[in-house]
């Protein structure tokens, strides 16, 4: 089965300030982007389950002109907290790589 990691040119996560985590999924081809948009492999419900946050706090946008998907949510641990093991949020994208396109 094809995964997001297979069809995305870039999948990344990063901070959008100390309280928000954002994910960018960028596609190399219009065909791959349209396939992902039709399949809807990334939903607020799926992100809520993966990251253990309420679905209501997730913002998810499909950007047709950029062939990209963007998702944002509150950071589970505020940046710089003693319990924060990923200060820049750059390692949080990994679970998205294996999401399958249906």
Q: Give pLDDT tens digits for 5-36.
A: 999 999 999 999 999 999 999 999 999 999 99
Q: At the topology level of CATH, where does 4-75 sit?
A: Alpha-Beta Plaits (3.30.70)
Query: For residue 29, what are its two tokens?
Result: 């081809």
Strand, coil or helix: 34: helix
* Chain center to CA of 77: 17
- Its pTM stands at 0.90
The full set of domain ranges for the chain reads 4-75
pLDDT (average), residues 67-73: 97
15 vs 23: CA distance, rounded Å: 9
């Amino acid at each position: 089965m094809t995964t997001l990691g297979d069809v995305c040119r870039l999948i990344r996560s990063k901070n959008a300030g100390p309280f928000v985590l954002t994910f960018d999924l960028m596609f190399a081809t219009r065909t791959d982007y349209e396939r992902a948009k039709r399949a809807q492999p990334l939903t607020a419900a799926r992100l809520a389950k993966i990251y253990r946050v309420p679905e209501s706090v997730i913002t998810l946008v499909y950007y047709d002109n950029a062939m990209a998907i963007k998702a944002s949510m509150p950071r589970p641990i505020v940046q710089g907290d003693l319990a924060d093991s990923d200060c820049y949020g750059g390692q949080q994208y990994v679970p998205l790589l294996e999401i399958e396109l249906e």
